[in-house]
Structure 1
Amino acid sequence: MSAVNKSAEDDGSFSSKVINIVFILLLLDLLGFTLILPLLPSILDHYAQTGDVVYESLQGVVDWFRDAVGIPMEKKYNTVLFGGLIGSLFSLLQFLASPITGVLADRHGRRPLLILTTLGLMSSYAVWAVSQSFSMFLLFRVIGGICKGNVSLCTAIVADLPCPKARNRGMAMIGIAFSLGFTVGPLMGAYFALRSRTTGGVFYQTPALLALAFSAADLLFIWFMLPETLTKDVKASSSECGDSRDLLSPLSLFRFSAVTKTKDSPSKERMKKLQVLGLVYFCYLFLFSGLEFTLSFLTHQRFQFTSMQQGKMFFFIGVIMALIQGGYARRIKPGHHIRAVRMAIVTLIPAFILIGLSWNMTMLYVGLALYSFAAAIVVPCLSTLVSDHGSATQKGTVMGILRSLGALARALGPVVSSSVYWIAGAPTCFLLSAASFIIPLALLRTAGKLKDE
């Protein structure tokens, strides 16, 4: 009995160590990734003034979309749309790269792939630091989109942990890293860009070099501190080569076909549940990213928010998310995750209604508080639920496909949402989005009825 207790104690100690390491390396990764967010409008203005040919050709695409949906010709809206176009490109590259990264991580281990993707990110930040043209800036985003596999790899590492409680805590800690990264990173980016201006250098160069430094620190941390969580026997048994179409076709990804076509594939019941959870994840992020994008339109149009006020608003959202994830989300017991996700999505319905109909700041911020509460719970809980599916040889593939579905949702959601916003108006857009949450709620009901055996 004492030997069993000792083994459980060792597992618990190892899991805690892995979770803490994953938290730090993901936080470093996200701090580097988010430094650019407040600088994007200034970067776009910078290239607009230089008369860059590539910039001008992409501006034509933005102008066509703006005319098609009736967006007013205003600099603020043009910047948001151009930034959204670049964001969609990044998400589409993530959609293509994440499943492949996951499969490779199942075959060769988490550490080698993390080292490879981090080296790729370092090269992208180096390109950004020396970029003198918009085409070089786009190259930086393309390399970053292909190599940004750290999030799906970190979720796969947490999914490797044997204890369900540890996996739940690990997913919540990943959520906290996201909240802190997206709260602190943009502030640092704005501060160091200001410092660069005062010293007479290119304003984005210091943030770019800082992102490179964060990525280099991440690489050293992975190299010296991160243990391999995928054992040799598991790696040896995951060397099957599936059909590449299963990793590139959207329909195959929604079906998790790369998981079903292996000797270790889950039972039909568990496979059905995995597919339903993937649909819930996609639907949620499609609607969520739509609000995230159109929120900038609404606050500027209705409340005349400046960039500083927008920053304060997102800081408010990030702080609430970090508090909820650190306090409530990581303590959700195994078996209660579907109920927690259902409660969070139900909370989003009044959140969207309050934000869409808000006529004063109190109403807006109450809606944002509810929105932040839900955002802190849904992704960590769904990630925990999905991590329970697939054998030990498939965790990277499963989490890579889930990340890919989320990236596709983030690429499509803003386009659809902003179109509805400008064609039908803000209240209609947000009310329709609120009503659309019935779809993931119905899917969750189906998932709850499916057995895990």
Structure 2
Amino acid sequence: MDENSAADQPLSEGSLNSPEEAEQTSHEEKPSKIIRAVFLSLLLDLLGFTLILPLLPSILDHYSQKDDAVYNSLQNVVDWFRVAVGIPLDSKFNRVLFGGLIGSLFSVLQFLSSPVMGAVSDYYGRRPLVLLSTVGVMSSYVLWMYSHSFSLFLLSRVVGGVCKGNVSLYTAMVADLRSPQARNRGMAMIGVAFSLGFTLGPILGAYFAQRAAGDGEFYQGPALLAFAFSAADLLFIFVVLPETLQRDSKASDVNSVVQGPGDLLNPVALFNFTAITRTDNPPSEQKMKNLKVLGGVYFTYLFLFSGLEFTLSFLTHQRFGFSSMEQGKMFFFIGVIMALIQGGFARRVKPGHQLKTVRLALISLIPAFLLIGIAWNMLLLYSGLVLYSFAAAVVVPCLSTQVSNHGSFSQKGVVMGILRSLGALARACGPIVASSVYWLAGAEVCFVIYSALFIVPLTLLARDAKSKDD
């Protein structure tokens, strides 16, 4: 089938009976316009978000020298964890662990906010919630700009973590598209936005930190730039980004939020996607079973992948003596490969082939992490990183597309919000477990064990396929 399916074509003149139908048709006529708008808005958001990534170690050093009481309290927690898992006393490791603690807090906040934002957007619409969350993100950058104490910096990360649930809104906007081909292209372009954001943002952050070093606090330049990106995004959303939730798709009430808030915060309820059963049109028993399996695959994959992703910088530093610049070049390489795969291959995956592509990517991760774990030269390392990049480029977009096919159009916000929440929970827990295994058993054992554990999501996918056959 051609990419421009019948669902994407305009209706002939005279076939519209009301302004409401005209509004509905206009959404179906222009999926490419919606995808471009979502892509550009998310890219602006991610460019601001990723500016801080290369600066976090220097920011932590900055507050450690101020003898900040809040910083010292958290340092005690890090020291306890370091001793418990046998991590050597090294300033570089300390910074990574401290950064991981803050990153886990950020992920926990996204875990809490994503399903709530998604559910509320099913009733009020995507655009108002995206505007509101962007204002919150802007305020977090203002707090960062004036964070002369660690407590204020931590507050900026808390505000940002709560408001970064907006990513689930962007995936819901793509899920609103009626054409399966358009949804697949949209999820792939969201992946491209992430790849570009995480490739370009850190470089910009490091550059502006160097430029601002002599004119005040070194982080104020990147913070101001992050605010500028966010302000530009707010203007873009206000002027260009359309509302994708159609009137006939709006939830009739907000019972999923008011009557059952635990369904959006309780991990067990989230894994079971309980909240969508409260709506007027709950999915069939088989659809719910498939959705739970997909959620389990998504969580398991990100739990394992984020853990090894976190320890990768440890391995390259220890084994190859990578400097910060060499680490940056490595992640730049990964980002470029991912963007090329997402922009070329992932967005052309045909509807119905997403799970086959996910299966292929998960299989590729087994040799990928084996090669990285045993690598004794650059050729083996970068061979593993190519396979790693392929999987990172296709698993999340393809699983997101598959999940977006579940639930009625009045449930897309809560469905995609729950999926995003499960991913945030995995990213909060994965690095802690993986780093413990790494330091207790060593790099080779850690990567070999984890590569074998990717059999778990593969087994879940096989069960999902079998249940569909039955």
TM over 0.5: yes
Asked if 1:255 is matched to 2:259, the reply is: no
Q: Structure 1: give runs of 5+ residues left out of the alignment.
A: none
Q: Distance in 2 between matches of 1:373 and 1:4?
A: 29
| Cα gap change, 1:449 to 1:57, in 2 (>3 Å) | same
1:183-207 deviations in Å (ceiling 9; x for gaps):
000000000000001x332100010
Distance of 2:271 and 2:233 partners within structure 1: 32
- Change over 3 Å in CA distance of 1:346–1:313 after alignment to 2: same
Tell me which of 184, 192, 197 is aligned to 1:176. Answer: 192
Matches for 1:192-211 after TM superposition, within 5 Å: 192-197=208-213, 199-211=214-226
Distance 1:230 1:176, change over 3 A: same
Aligned match for 2:409, one of 387, 392, 398: 392
Q: Distance in 1 between matches of 2:8 and 2:310?
A: 51
CA shift digits 1:272-320 (9 cap, x unpaired): 0000000000000001100111011101111111100000000000000
Distance 2:128 2:234 in 1: 11
In structure 1, C-alpha distance between the alignment counterparts of 2:95 and 2:166, rounded to whole Å: 28
The answer to whether 1:336 aligns with 2:340 is no
Instruction: Output aligned runs, 1:53-132, within 5 Å.
Output: 53-132=69-148
Aligned residue number for residue 230 of structure 1? 245
Deviation at 1:238, TM superposition (A): 4.5
2:208, 2:422 → 1: CA distance? 34
Contact 2:28 2:178 in 1 (8 A): no
Partner of 2:55: 39
Q: State the distance in 2 between where 1:6 and 1:195 align.
A: 51
CA deviation string 1:60-85 (max 9, x = no partner): 00000000000000011000000000
Q: Is the 8 A contact 2:8 2:179 kept in 1?
A: no
> For 1:225 and 1:341, how far apart are their aligned partners in 2?
33
**Secondary structure of the structure 1 residue equivalent to 2:250:** helix
Match of 1:217, as an amino acid? A
Instruction: Point out where structure 2 has 5 or more consecutive residues left out of the alignment.
Output: 1-5, 13-24
- Farther-moved stretch of structure 1 (11-20 vs 292-301): 11-20
Aligned pair 1:219/2:234, yes or no?
A: yes
Do residues 15 (structure 1) and 47 (structure 2) align?
Answer: no
The aligned amino acid for 2:145 is: A
C-alpha distance after superposition, 1:128-183 (max 9, x if no partner): 00110000000000000111122110000000000000000000000000000000
Give me the identity figure in percent. 68
Give, in whole Å, the separation in 1 of the partners of 2:223 and 2:26. 41
Change (3 A) 1:366 1:10: same
2:10 to 1, 6, 10: 6
CA contact (8 A) 2:7 2:178 kept: no
After the TM superposition, which parts of structure 1 deviate over 6 Å for at least 4 consecutive aligned residues?
none
Equivalent residues, number = 451
Relative to structure 1, the CA distance from residue 273 to residue 356 in structure 2 (aligned partners, 3 Å threshold; closer, same or farther) is same
Q: Per-residue deviation at 1:11?
A: 5.8
Structure 1 residue 233 displacement after superposition: 3.2
**1:449 alignment partner in structure 2:** 466
Tell me if 1:24 matches 2:40. Answer: yes
1:294 corresponds in structure 2 to 311
Paired AA for residue 31 in structure 1: L
3-state SS of the aligned residue for 1:7?
A: coil
Distance 1:437 1:279 in 2: 13
Q: Which amino acid aligns with 2:270?
A: L
Q: Is the 8 A contact 1:106 1:238 kept in 2?
A: no
State the distance in 2 between where 1:351 and 1:371 align: 6
- Pick from 183, 192, 209: which aligns with 1:167? 183
- The change in CA–CA distance for 1:260 and 1:452 in structure 2 (over 3 A counts) is farther
1:29, 1:150 within 8 Å by CA — same for their partners in 2?
A: no
Report if the CA contact (8 A) 1:269-1:452 is conserved.
Answer: no
2:18 matched to which residue of 1? none
Please say if residues 10 and 28 of structure 2, whose CA atoms lie closer than 8 Å, have aligned partners that are also in contact: no
Does the CA-based 8 Å contact 1:238-1:394 persist in structure 2?
no
- Deviation (angstroms), 1:452: 10
- Relative to structure 2, which stretch is displaced further, 213-222 or 442-451? 442-451
Query: Aligned partners of 2:198 and 2:380: how far apart in 1?
Result: 24
| Alignment-mate amino acid for residue 52 of structure 1 | D
Q: Is the 1:270–1:451 Cα contact (8 Å) retained in structure 2?
A: no
1:234-256 deviations in whole A, cap 9, x for unaligned? 22525334411101110000000
Q: Is the 8 A contact 2:209 2:221 kept in 1?
A: yes
Distance 2:210 2:7 in 1: 59
CA displacement at 1:446 relative to structure 2: 1.5
Q: Distance in 2 between matches of 1:231 and 1:192?
A: 42
| TM-score for the superposition, normalised by structure 2 | 0.94
Larger deviation, residues 37-46 vs 440-449: 440-449
Once the two structures are superposed, the pairs formed by residues 294-333 of structure 1 within 5 Å of their partners are 294-333=311-350
